[in-house]
């Protein structure tokens, strides 16, 4: 277990290095000049050149990357060209909104997917299974921004039950906070729920047809015990993998949702940074999201032996 943990932790390093190079190159080739944007259209070329020299934008790309990567390794992701706040300060403020949104969206997705996936697997071919499958495919094809706009129209404009946008911090009260977050959470969590349901249904069908499940029924165990103790425990292994991967997508996929609902989160922050050519903020946030994505997958891998004792980390299986 210890050797596997060390090996998996070290394998994260080349992944993050590759991600950092890709992120830096993508932001480097974004059209536009932050010095020109900040100086304004009336600024002289000397003023723009002075800002570019001050920020190091006139250096070769490999020098800029080496300096940025060295600072990032020490926890310094730079500061915004416009607000002069560090990237970590901006992320610390915006992450409260994004993390809450991602967790609520994950809760919505699991609440929909788990019962729907289990019932569909227990009763394959039934009206519920066919309806859930059709709704699942429909959910995969619905754009997130369209669903968000429809939720705003129905619950904010027509029914006037919930606010159309904006964020109320938790310090102002739990109910006002949830009222401002429930529509974005539904919009973001609906798409994830369809994928969760499909994976859980397929995994449950495979486990319910396995020999150990038939043996459990032959011993006289009741169906709820067979489902909970035998089927679900084994079916959760691929489901947890998808859950971990999807959590990373939820963290990185809040850009559209936060823009539609005017939430001051990380997604909206990185979008504004790209539009303003604020390279330090854009690269720093994307690198943090990628790091969180990789760490979530690492945690998911380490959960395997907890869910299934047959899994032995660091001991490759060999054919007899």
Give residue-wise pLDDT tens across range 101-152: 888 888 888 888 888 888 888 888 788 888 887 877 777 777 777 888 888 9
Residue 4 domain flag: no
Q: How sure is the predictor about 248, in pLDDT bands with cuts at 50, 70 and 90?
A: low
Res. 319: pLDDT tops 50:
no
Residue 46 domain flag: yes
Domain match, 174 and 29 both = no
Neighbours of 273 (CB within 10 A): 25
Report CA-CA distances (Å) from 277 to 26, 36, 37, 47, 68: 12, 10, 8, 18, 16
Query: 107-121, 196-210, 270-284, 297-311: lowest mean pLDDT where?
Result: 297-311
Number of domains in the chain: 2
Q: What is the pLDDT of residue 56?
A: 76
Domain match, 118 and 39 both = no
Q: What is the pLDDT of residue 307?
A: 57
Domain match, 121 and 52 both = no
Residue 144: which of 247, 254, 270 has the closest Cα? 254
- Residue range 286-314, pLDDT digits in tens: 888 878 777 777 777 776 666 555 555 54
Domain match, 283 and 240 both = yes
The CATH number for 186's domain is 1.10.3720.10
Residue 80 domain flag: no
Q: How sure is the predictor about 174, in pLDDT bands with cuts at 50, 70 and 90?
A: confident
Res. 205: pLDDT tops 60:
yes
Q: How sure is the predictor about 160, in pLDDT bands with cuts at 50, 70 and 90?
A: confident
Displacement of CA 267 from its chain's centroid (Å): 11
Q: How sure is the predictor about 158, in pLDDT bands with cuts at 50, 70 and 90?
A: confident
Residue 255: which of 274, 239, 242 has the closest Cα? 274
Which of 39, 73, 107 finishes a domain?
Answer: 73
Neighbours of 174 (CB within 10 A): 9
- Residue range 6-17, pLDDT digits in tens: 776 777 788 888
Domain match, 202 and 271 both = yes
Q: How sure is the predictor about 254, in pLDDT bands with cuts at 50, 70 and 90?
A: confident
Domain match, 115 and 54 both = no
Domain match, 31 and 132 both = no
Domain match, 210 and 273 both = yes
User: Which conformational region is residue 56 in: left (phi greater than 0), alpha (psi within -120 to 50 degrees), or beta?
Assistant: left
User: Can you tell me the distance from the alpha carbon of 104 to that of 7, in angstroms, rounded to the nearest whole number?
Assistant: 33
Domain match, 128 and 231 both = yes
Residue 45 domain flag: yes
Q: What is the pLDDT of residue 225?
A: 76
Residue 79 domain flag: no
Q: What is the pLDDT of residue 4?
A: 64
For the chain, percent of residues with pLDDT exceeding 70: 86
Question: Are 196 and 243 contacting, i.e. CB atoms less than 8 angstroms apart?
Answer: yes
Residue 168 structural domain = 95-307
Domain match, 63 and 192 both = no
Residue 131 has, within 13 A of its CA and on its CB side, a CA count of 6
Q: Which two tokens stand for residue 99?
A: 């993390």
For the chain, percent of residues with pLDDT exceeding 90: 0
User: Can you tell me the distance from the alpha carbon of 69 to that of 77, in angstroms, rounded to the nearest whole number?
Assistant: 8
Query: 19-28, 67-76, 311-320: lowest mean pLDDT where?
Result: 311-320
Q: What angle do CA 158, 160, 164 make, to 5 degrees?
A: 95
Please tell me which residue, 318 or 178, carries the higher pLDDT value.
Answer: 178
Residue 128 domain flag: yes
How many residues belong to the chain? Answer: 320
DSSP state of 254: H
Please tell me which residue, 153 or 312, carries the higher pLDDT value.
Answer: 153
Domain match, 50 and 193 both = no
Residue 320 domain flag: no
Domain match, 234 and 133 both = yes
Residue 242 domain flag: yes
Question: Are 148 and 183 contacting, i.e. CB atoms less than 8 angstroms apart?
Answer: yes
User: Which conformational region is residue 173 in: left (phi greater than 0), alpha (psi within -120 to 50 degrees), or beta?
Assistant: left
Neighbours of 16 (CB within 10 A): 16
Q: Which two tokens stand for residue 123?
A: 């009763």
Positive/negative CA dihedral, 71, 77, 80, 83: negative
């Amino acid at each position: 277990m210890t050797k596997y943990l060390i090996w998996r932790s070290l394998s994260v390093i080349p992944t993050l290095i590759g991600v950092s190079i890709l992120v830096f190159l993508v932001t480097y080739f974004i059209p536009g000049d932050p010095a020109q944007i900040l100086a304004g259209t009336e600024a002289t070329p000397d003023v723009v050149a002075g800002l570019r020299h001050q920020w190091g934008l006139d250096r070769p790309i490999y020098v800029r990357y080496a300096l940025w990567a060295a600072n990032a390794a020490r926890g310094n992701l730079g500061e915004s060209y416009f607000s002069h706040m560090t990237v970590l300060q901006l992320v610390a403020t915006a992450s409260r909104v994004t993390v809450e949104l991602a967790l609520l969206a994950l809760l919505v997705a699991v609440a929909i997917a788990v019962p729907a996936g289990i019932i569909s697997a227990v009763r394959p071919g039934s009206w519920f299974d066919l309806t859930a499958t059709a709704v699942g495919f429909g959910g995969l094809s619905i754009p997130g921004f369209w669903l968000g706009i429809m939720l705003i129209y129905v619950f904010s404009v027509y029914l006037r039950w919930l606010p159309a946008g904006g964020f109320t911090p938790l310090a102002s009260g739990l109910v006002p906070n949830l009222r401002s977050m429930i529509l974005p959470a539904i919009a973001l969590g609906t798409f994830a729920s369809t994928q969760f349901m499909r994976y859980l249904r397929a995994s449950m069908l495979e486990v319910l047809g396995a020999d150990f499940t038939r043996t459990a029924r032959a011993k006289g165990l009741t169906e709820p015990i067979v489902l909970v103790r035998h089927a679900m425990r084994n079916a959760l292994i691929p489901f947890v993998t998808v859950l971990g991967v999807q959590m990373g997508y939820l963290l990185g996929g809040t850009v559209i949702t936060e823009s539609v609902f005017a939430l001051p989160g990380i997604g909206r922050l990185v979008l504004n940074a790209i539009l303003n050519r604020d390279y330090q903020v854009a690269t720093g946030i994307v690198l943090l999201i990628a790091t969180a994505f990789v760490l979530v997958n690492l945690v998911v891998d380490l959960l395997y032996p907890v869910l299934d004792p047959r899994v032995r980390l660091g001991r490759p299986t060999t054919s007899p």
